[in-house]
Structure 1
Amino acid sequence: MESIIEKERPDGIMLSYGGQTALNCGVKIDEAGILKKYGVSVLGTQVPGIMATEDRQRFKDSMVKCNVPVLKSKTVHTFDEAKKVAKDLGYPVIVRVAYTLGGKGGGVASNEIELHEIAGRGLAASLVGQILVEEYVGDWKQIEYEVMQDYSKNNVIVCNMENVLSMRVHTGDNIVVAPSQTIDNHEYHMLRSAALRATKHVGIVGECNIQFALDQASDTYAAIEINPRLSRSSALASKATGYPLAYMSAKIGLGYSLPELVNTITKKTTACFEPALDYIVCKHPRWDFTKFELANRSLGPTMKSVGEVMAIGRKFEEVLQKSIRMLDVGKDGLVLNRQNGESFNDEQIEEHLQTPDDNILYYVVAALHKGISIEKIYQLSAIDPWFLNKINNIVEVERRLKSSTLDHKLLSDAKKFGFSDNQIGRAVKKDGLEVRKIRKDLGITPVVKQIDTLAAEWPAQTNYLYLTYGGTENDIFITKKDSGIIVLGAGPYRIGSSVEFDWGTVNMVWGLQDGGEKNVVVVNCNPETVSTDYDICSRLYFEELTLERILDISEFEQPNGVVTSVGGQTANNLTPKLVANGIILIGTSAENVDRAENRSKFSQVLDTLHIGQPSWQAFTNITDAKNFALEVGYPVLVRPSYVLSGAAMKVVWSQTELKKFVNEATIVSPDHPVVITKFMLDALEVDVDGVCDGENVAIGAIVEHIDSAGVHSGDAMMCIPPWRLSNKIIENITDSTTRIAKEFNIRGPFNLQFLVKNEQAYVIELNIRASRSMPFVSKFVKVNIISLAAQAILGKKISNIPQEMWANTGMHGIKVPQFSFMQLEGADIVLGVEMQSTGEAACFGNSFYDALSKGLTSVGYNLPKTGSALVTIGGVENREKLLHTSALLKSLGFKILATETTAEFFAEKLGDVTVVHKISEPDRKPNISDLLHEKKIDFIINIPSTSTLEKYVGMLYDEYQIRRKSLELGIPVLSTIELAESFVKTLEWLQKMKRQKTIRIIQRHNLNHRR
C-alpha cells in the first residue's frame, strides 16, 4: 500500500468499501504513520471511529459512555485469561474475535475443553491477538439497523431487519427479513434511538450496520457490534429498500450532507427521508456443505454460508418459499419437493431443532407434520411463534392441496403463499407445466410491482421490479418499442459461481447496449451483485431464475431474445427448457449447448472430429460401469452432465467407491446418463477462453494450471502465459479449439478444458458460456472477452484478437484460489475434482514468481524469510518428487522438521533433518502439536499418499489433524507437490530480489474496458 500511495500521492483515501480487509489495512497503514507521512486524509469514518467499533474493549467502553447497554464480557489476550472470565460469567460463553469477518475464529464454548480450542484459533485469527469472552444469549432476538450519518451528525435509519433464527446463528448464516416482523412499536423505537446514539458517539461518517440482541420477556437489549463499513447487511438493505447506500455513503465521505443529497429513485425527496416498505423482503443464505466431506453442518456464531439470495413479495410465506427456490439447491420450496429427505422420529426432530444446521426449517416442517406444538418448537428452536405460525400456514396449504379439488380459490391461495407450479403439481399428481396451463386458464397470473423506496407516498416511475400474486394490477406497462433482450444472471454466489459470473452478466449488458440494443433487461436474485443495481439496465427483475418465473417475465416483456450464456450453470441449464416453451434464445443454439453439456453426446462429437479425449463410456447401470472401470483400470472419474463446480464428480479408486459415487451422480443429474472416464494421473490441465461468431474464433488466452490434473479448475492456481507447455502442444490446442468452436457453431463465449500428458492434448470439457477465468483473461490481454461475445450474440462479426496476444504482453498473470476452510469446522484442506474454493485473487508481475508472490500474499499466505518447515509426505514416489524442493529449502536457510519415515528418507539424501513426532503420539517429544501451538513451525508441506476416502482413517488421520490444526492456528499448509515447489521457488525469488515486488498501474495495461 505504501508503494501505491507513494506513486499516486492521493489527497484522500476511503476505507469503508472493501470489507474487513480494507478496514484492517487502513488501520495498519495509519498506525504505521504512512497516511501522515504522505499527507493523506481519511474520507468517511475516521480511524479512531473504526477502532472504537472493531476493538472489542473500545466498543464496549464506547457503548457504555453513550448509554447503550452491552452484554457482560471481557477482552483477553491469552487462554488463561479467557478461562478466568468464563468461570466468572458461567458457561456457556461466546468468544468473539477482534478485527475479523463473519465471526471467523469465534464460537460458543460449553466447557473449558471447548474454550481452549476456540480461544486458540480466535487469538490466531485476530489482527491484534484479542478475543472477547461474553455471556451467551442464544435465545434472544437478533435485530439489525442500517444507519446513514454525515459529518454534521445528521442521521437516518435506512432499514431495520430481523433474524429469524435468533442470536444462536451468525447473521450471515441467518434467514433475515426486512422490515422486522415481531417487535412492537416501543421496541422498534427503543432500538432505533440506541442505534442513532451509538453511531453519533463513535463518529460514523457514511454508512454502518449495528446489531442488537433483544429479550422481549424482560424488555432488555444489548448492542452486539457495529460494522463501520459497507457489509453484506448493507448490500441487503440497499437492495431491499432501493436506497443506494454505497453511493450515498461515498457522497457523504466527500463532504455532502444528507439534506443536500437527492433520492435517486423519486428524484424529488432528499436522502433524509427514511425508506418505507409496502412489501416484505427475505434473505436466505446458501451453504455448500456437500463439497466438504468432514465439515460440521451446524450453524452458530461463525459464518459458513458462501452466498445468499433475496426474495421480495407481500407475505412472509411467499418470500420464504421464493427464496428457497432462488438458492438453486434442487428444492421448489419448503414442502412438496422432488426429494423430501429422510424421515425422523420425534426425538431426532427435537434434537435437530435445538442444534440448528442448514436444514433447520425442514425440521420445523417435520415437527409440524408430526403434530408437535408451535409452543414446543419455539422452546426448542428459539424461532419466534409468529414465524412458526407462518410456516404452519404453508403446511396447511400443502394439506389442502393434497386433500381438496384444485379450484380457483385453492390455486390462488397456494400462489399467494409462495407455492410454485411444480409444488402444486406434485400435490395433485400433475406436471408443473400442466398446472401452469390450468392456472392461466383460470386467470391466475402474477402482477409486476415496482420498488420506489417510499411505499408509493411520492410518484415514482422506477425500473426496479418484482412479481407477486399479492396484488391486482401491474405497476408498469410494456409496449412494443420497450421490448428488448433479457439477460439471465447467475443467482446466488456459491462454490463454482461467484463474482466472475456477475462480471460476465454486467459486461454483457453493457456490450449489448454498446452494440445498439436500447432495452436490456436483467433477471437476478443476489443482493451482493452489481447486476442487481437498478441503474445498470433498462429494467431489473429481482426474481427467481426458474423456468416458471422466466416464462412469466417473458410473457410480460415479450422480448426479442434471452441470453443464457453469462449466468453460469444456472442460466445454462434453463436453455433447453426455455426453447421447448417457445422462448427465443440469442447466441449459441440450445441444440448445440445440449451437445456440449451432455457428456455422452460431446464425447461422440470429439470422436467424429478425431480429437483426443480420455477413454470414456456412458452408463445407466452399475454392472456395466464396474466392467468398464476394470477394463481401463482404476482410478476412474465419475462425471454427471449439466453440473457446475464438479458437483458429485469424484475420482474413484475401487469398486466399493464406484457404486456409491455412481448413485450420487445419478441423484445430482437424474435426467442424463453418467459418464465414467479414465482418470489420467500426473497430467497437466489447461483452460482456453474464447469467443466465436459462428465463423471466426478469437482465443483470449491459453491458461495453464500450476496444480496437476485432479485438482478442480476452480481450485487450481493458473498462469498466463503457460510455463510448461511446448510450442507443439500450444499449436495442437489452438487447432482443436478452433475446430470445436466451429463444429458447435458457437455464437458467444466459450471455455474449453484440456489434459496434457506425454506431449498429447486430450479434451475433457466444453462450456458454451462465460467461465470463471474470463475476467482474469480479459484483464490480462487488455480485451474484454464478454464485449466481443455481445457482438457475436447480436449477429455481428467479432473483431480479431491478435494471435497469441496472451504470450506477448510483457507480463505474467497468476490466479490464486481463496478457501474458507477455517470457517467450516472439521473440513479437510486436501483438494480434489470437486471445487471447494470460495474466491480468488489475480495478480500481475514482471515474472512468474513476481506475480505468484503477490497472489499467495493476497489470499493469506505468509512468505517467511527464514524459519522451520514441517515436511510430511506420503509414499516414496512423492518424497522423490519433492527432494529437489526440500534441498532448495535447506539452501535458503530453513530448518526441516519431519516425521520419522520422511526424516529417515531426507536425512539420507540431504543430511541434517530434525525428527518430530505425530499428534497421535502426544507422549513422544518433540511433538507436532506442541510445536504448532508454540508457533515454532512457519509452514507445512503435507502431501497425502492417495486421493482415496481412506485418507480419513487409520494412520492418515494424523495427516488430517496436522492440516486442520495448522489451519486453525494460521500456519500455511501446502498440500500439492506443485504448490510446494512454487512456494519454495517464490521464497528463493524473494531472497534474490530482496523482497521487492513490482508495482504497475493496471489501466496502462488494461484498455478496452468500458467501465
Structure 2
Amino acid sequence: MTTPAPDMSSEVAGLARKITREQLFTAKEHGFSDTQLAHIFSTDELTVRELRKHYGVESVFKTVDTCAAEFDAKTPYHYSSYDTENESVRSDNKKVIILGGGPNRIGQGIEFDYCCVQAVFALREAGYETIMVNCNPETVSTDYDIADKLYFEPLTYEDTIRIIEHEQPLGVIVSFGGQTPLKLSSRLEEAGIRILGTSSKGIDMAEDRKKFGAILRELDIPHPDYDTAVSFEEAQEITGRIGYPVLVRPSYVLGGRAMKIIYSDDSLKEYVDQALFISEKYPLLIDRFLETAVEFDIDAITDSSDCVVSGIMQHVEAAGIHSGDSTSILPYHNINPDVIRTMKEYTRKLADRLNVVGLMNVQYAVQNDKVYVIEVNPRASRTVPFVGKATAVPIVKIATRVMLGEKLSDLRKEYRLADCDELGMNHLAIKEPVFPFSKFVKSGVYLGPEMRSTGEAMSLAYNFPESFAKAYQAANMELPTSGTVFISVNDRDKDERIIRIAKDLYRIGFDLVATSGTYKFLSDHDIECKKVYKVGEEGRPNIFDVIRLGKIDFVINTPLGEQALNDEEAIGAASVTSGVPFVTTIEAAEASVQAIDCLRRQEFGVKSLQEYASYRDQ
C-alpha cells in the first residue's frame, strides 16, 4: 500500500491508497485515460491527474520520421506514449498552438480544417512557430509540411494540456476547429493557459441559452421564444406557453443532430421518450419555430472596438432547413435595406457585448421584415471558406492577426476593408450543398433541421439564374431543358408562387403532371397538366412507376409536417435511383425554373477566381 505524501489533498491521498505508481503506469500504458480511471475509482479526472503528477507518471512524445531516416526531417510529427524517452525537442521560438477539428463528420469537417491551415500560414508570416494538434490523417492540416510541428493526438483535455505543458506556447487558438476544441476553452483558461481570441467567458455566454437570452433582452434584440426542459411535463408546459410548431433539440448538438420540428403533444411525447440523454446539465432546447421566415448567415471579424461584417448570405430555402443544407447566396438580393441595416446593427452589438476577438457567425431569421436572432457562434463557421473565396478577402488571415493583438482598424486600411458586402462585388456567388442520397436511398431525401449534406459546391456568375444553374451542375444535378415535370406541393404552397412556376415551365415547353390535389389547384387556375395516381391510390401507373419508367425529367415535391408521407418518400427514392433531379422546397423550385430558362438561352463561360476578384483592385 502506498503511503500518502503530506502535501496531498484528501481526495488524492484516498486514491493513492487504492492504486500504486506501478499500477497507474501500467494502466496508462494500456491506454486508460484519466477520465476512465476516474470512473473506475469513483473520483474525478482532476484527482487522477494530480496523482499522476505526484507519481511522476507523464506521457512522452515519439517522433514519426517523415523522411524515413534518409536525411534529417525538417517537419516531423509526434504522438504520445507512456515510455521513458521524449523525442520531441522544444524550441525557444515564440510559438502558437492551433487545435484542429478532430474526426470529420456531418456538421463539422474540412471547412474548419481550411481555417486551421490559413491560420498556420498567417502565423508563419507573422514570425511564429506553428504547432498543430489534430487526430485526423485525412485533412490538410495534418499534412507533414503544413505546420512547423504536428501532434497526432485526441482533442481531449488530458492530451491537449500535456502538449501545452511541454511546448509552452504564447497562446492557444481554439476557435478555428469548430465545436470540438471550443469545449476545451474554459478548462484550459482555468489551468492558466492563454486563449487567443474570444475568452471562454464570451464563448460560454453565447453557448448557454439562459445567459444568451439575458444578453438579448439587455440589448433589446428580438429572438424566437424558447426555454429548456428536462422532462416531458416541462416541455409540454413550454409548448403550451410559446405555441406550436417548435424546434426541439438536445443541448450542444453538432450539425443539427436529433433536431426536429414538432407540431403536437403526441409527437413531443414520442421525441422525449426516444431522447438518449436529458439532464439538468444537458437539457432539451425548445424554440418557437418561425414558419415562412427567410434565414441569413452573417460572418464577421471583430475586436474589442471594431467589427467588419465579412459576408451576408441569404438562404434560398425558408426557415427550417439546416444552414449546412441550404443553398446560400452572396451577396443577398431583393431584401429590404432596413432589414440589412438591422442585422448589421445587431451583429455589432452582440460582438461588443460578448467581447468577441476574431471570427463570429450569427444566424438570423426574418419574418415580415422583423429580424430575429437564432444563434451566435463566437468562432469560425462552415461558411468562412465560401465567403473568403467569393469576396477575395483573406478573412482567416485577418482574424488571426486580430487574435494576436493587432487592431482591426489598422488592418482595415491594409486590406481596404469596408463591410465586405459593400465592397462593390459585381458578381454573385452561390453555395450549393451536395447530398449522399444516391448511396443512402433509404435514409430519406427531405430536408429539415438535421444536417444531411456531406459537401458543397460553389458557383460564380454575374446574375442569379446563371450562378444557380452552375451551382446545380457543380453539385452533379443536371437540370433538364425540356421534357416532363412532376409537381406535388403541400397545401401551404398552393399559392401564387406555384402558379407562376407552373406557368413558366409550361411557357418554355415542359409538359406537366401532378397528383390529384395539385392537379385540381393548377387546373382551377387554367394551367394545363395531366393527373397521375399517388403511390397509395388505386390505379396504375402511379407516380413511382412513371418516374422509374423514365417519363419524368424533373420533380417538384414539397412535403409538410413532421415526417414525409410514404408517397413522398417513394417519390424521393425513385428520383434518386433513376437519376432524376428534384427539389423539395418551393423556394428551390423558383430558383430552378430561372436556372432552366437561363440554360436554354445561353452558354456558360469560365473565369478564374482572380478575374472575379478584380473588383478589389479598382
TM-score by length of 1: 0.57
Aligned letter for 1:484? K
- Map of 1:509 onto structure 2: 120
Q: Is 1:473 equivalent to 2:104 in the alignment?
A: no
Q: Is 1:427 equivalent to 2:40 in the alignment?
A: yes
State the alpha-carbon separation in 2 of the partners of residues 670 and 482 from structure 1.
45
Deviation at 1:411, TM superposition (A): 2.3
User: What whole-Å deviation, never above 9, does each CA across 1:370-394 have from its counterpart, x for those lacking one?
Assistant: xxxxxxxxxxxxxxxxxxxxxxxxx
**Cα gap change, 1:686/1:876 in structure 2, threshold over 3 Å: closer, same or farther?**
closer
* Residue in structure 2 matching 1:647, options 251, 257, 281: 257
- Map of 1:609 onto structure 2: 219
SS, match of residue 584 in structure 1: coil
- Map of 1:938 onto structure 2: 553
SS, match of residue 211 in structure 2: helix
How many residue pairs end up in the alignment?
A: 595
Pairing 1:475-490 to 2, within 5 Å after superposition:
475-479=87-91, 481-490=92-101
Deviation at 1:650, TM superposition (A): 2.2
* Residue in structure 1 matching 2:572, options 948, 960, 963: 963
- Map of 1:815 onto structure 2: 431
SS, match of residue 531 in structure 1: helix
Aligned letter for 1:411? L
The answer to whether the 8 Å contact 1:648/1:668 transfers is: no
The answer to whether the 8 Å contact 1:783/1:1006 transfers is: no
- Map of 1:780 onto structure 2: 390
Pairing 1:412-811 to 2, within 5 Å after superposition:
412-453=25-66, 460=73, 462-469=75-82, 471-479=83-91, 481-517=92-128, 519-662=129-272, 667=277, 671-798=281-408, 799-800=411-412, 802-807=417-422, 808-811=424-427
Q: Is 1:894 equivalent to 2:510 in the alignment?
A: yes
The unaligned stretches of length 5 or more in structure 2 are 1-14
SS, match of residue 142 in structure 2: coil
State the alpha-carbon separation in 2 of the partners of residues 695 and 654 from structure 1.
46
Deviation at 1:594, TM superposition (A): 0.3
The answer to whether the 8 Å contact 1:782/1:1008 transfers is: no
Question: Which structure's relative contact order is higher, taking Cα pairs within 8 Å and 6+ residues apart?
Answer: 2
Pairing 1:929-1008 to 2, within 5 Å after superposition:
929-946=544-561, 948-949=562-563, 951=564, 956-991=565-600, 993-994=601-602, 996-1006=603-613
Pairing 1:36-55 to 2, within 5 Å after superposition:
none
State the alpha-carbon separation in 1 of the partners of residues 615 and 490 from structure 2.
48
Pairing 1:195-344 to 2, within 5 Å after superposition:
none
User: What whole-Å deviation, never above 9, does each CA across 1:540-594 have from its counterpart, x for those lacking one?
Assistant: 1011111111011111111111100100111111111222233221111110110
Aligned letter for 2:566? Y
Deviation at 1:654, TM superposition (A): 1.4
SS, match of residue 371 in structure 2: strand
- Map of 2:4 onto structure 1: none
Deviation at 1:508, TM superposition (A): 1.1
Aligned letter for 1:514? E
The answer to whether the 8 Å contact 2:78/2:88 transfers is: no
The answer to whether the 8 Å contact 1:448/1:475 transfers is: yes
SS, match of residue 437 in structure 1: helix
Deviation at 1:668, TM superposition (A): 7.3
SS, match of residue 893 in structure 1: coil
The answer to whether the 8 Å contact 2:142/2:150 transfers is: yes
The answer to whether the 8 Å contact 1:715/1:817 transfers is: yes
**Cα gap change, 1:764/1:460 in structure 2, threshold over 3 Å: closer, same or farther?**
closer
**Cα gap change, 1:730/1:1008 in structure 2, threshold over 3 Å: closer, same or farther?**
closer
State the alpha-carbon separation in 1 of the partners of residues 279 and 196 from structure 2.
26
State the alpha-carbon separation in 1 of the partners of residues 483 and 260 from structure 2.
37
Deviation at 1:1000, TM superposition (A): 1.6
- Map of 1:864 onto structure 2: 480
State the alpha-carbon separation in 1 of the partners of residues 69 and 99 from structure 2.
28
- Map of 2:543 onto structure 1: 928
User: What whole-Å deviation, never above 9, does each CA across 1:231-277 have from its counterpart, x for those lacking one?
Assistant: xxxxxxxxxxxxxxxxxxxxxxxxxxxxxxxxxxxxxxxxxxxxxxx
Deviation at 1:621, TM superposition (A): 4.1
State the alpha-carbon separation in 2 of the partners of residues 671 and 824 from structure 1.
34
State the alpha-carbon separation in 1 of the partners of residues 321 and 214 from structure 2.
25
TM-score by length of 2: 0.91
Pairing 1:17-166 to 2, within 5 Å after superposition:
none
State the alpha-carbon separation in 2 of the partners of residues 804 and 554 from structure 1.
36
The answer to whether the 8 Å contact 1:688/1:753 transfers is: yes
**Cα gap change, 1:632/1:905 in structure 2, threshold over 3 Å: closer, same or farther?**
same
Aligned letter for 1:783? V
Which aligned runs of 4 or more in structure 1 are off by greater than 6 angstroms?
Answer: 663-666
SS, match of residue 763 in structure 1: strand
Deviation at 1:1004, TM superposition (A): 3.1
State the alpha-carbon separation in 2 of the partners of residues 547 and 900 from structure 1.
59
State the alpha-carbon separation in 1 of the partners of residues 173 and 208 from structure 2.
20
The answer to whether the 8 Å contact 1:716/1:817 transfers is: yes
**Cα gap change, 1:572/1:968 in structure 2, threshold over 3 Å: closer, same or farther?**
same
Deviation at 1:975, TM superposition (A): 0.6
The answer to whether the 8 Å contact 2:244/2:288 transfers is: yes
The answer to whether the 8 Å contact 1:599/1:641 transfers is: no
SS, match of residue 184 in structure 2: helix
The answer to whether the 8 Å contact 2:228/2:284 transfers is: yes
The answer to whether the 8 Å contact 1:783/1:1008 transfers is: no
**Cα gap change, 1:913/1:762 in structure 2, threshold over 3 Å: closer, same or farther?**
same
Aligned letter for 1:434? T
User: What whole-Å deviation, never above 9, does each CA across 1:892-946 have from its counterpart, x for those lacking one?
Assistant: 111111122322222222343122223345x723332332222111111111132
SS, match of residue 610 in structure 2: helix
Deviation at 1:804, TM superposition (A): 4.2
State the alpha-carbon separation in 2 of the partners of residues 566 and 888 from structure 1.
45
Deviation at 1:662, TM superposition (A): 4.8
User: What whole-Å deviation, never above 9, does each CA across 1:110-142 have from its counterpart, x for those lacking one?
Assistant: xxxxxxxxxxxxxxxxxxxxxxxxxxxxxxxxx
Aligned letter for 2:234? D
**Cα gap change, 1:831/1:670 in structure 2, threshold over 3 Å: closer, same or farther?**
farther
Deviation at 1:501, TM superposition (A): 0.7
SS, match of residue 904 in structure 1: helix
SS, match of residue 482 in structure 1: coil
The answer to whether the 8 Å contact 1:595/1:601 transfers is: yes
State the alpha-carbon separation in 1 of the partners of residues 473 and 527 from structure 2.
31
Aligned letter for 1:865? T
Aligned letter for 1:1000? K
* Residue in structure 2 matching 1:409, options 22, 27, 39: 22
**Cα gap change, 1:540/1:453 in structure 2, threshold over 3 Å: closer, same or farther?**
closer
Aligned letter for 1:607? R
**Cα gap change, 1:587/1:660 in structure 2, threshold over 3 Å: closer, same or farther?**
farther
User: What whole-Å deviation, never above 9, does each CA across 1:933-981 have from its counterpart, x for those lacking one?
Assistant: 22111111111132x14x3xxxx21111111121122111211111111
The answer to whether the 8 Å contact 2:66/2:144 transfers is: no
**Cα gap change, 1:913/1:669 in structure 2, threshold over 3 Å: closer, same or farther?**
farther
**Cα gap change, 1:568/1:990 in structure 2, threshold over 3 Å: closer, same or farther?**
same
Percentage identity across aligned positions? 37
**Cα gap change, 1:846/1:669 in structure 2, threshold over 3 Å: closer, same or farther?**
farther
SS, match of residue 141 in structure 2: coil
Deviation at 1:880, TM superposition (A): 5.2
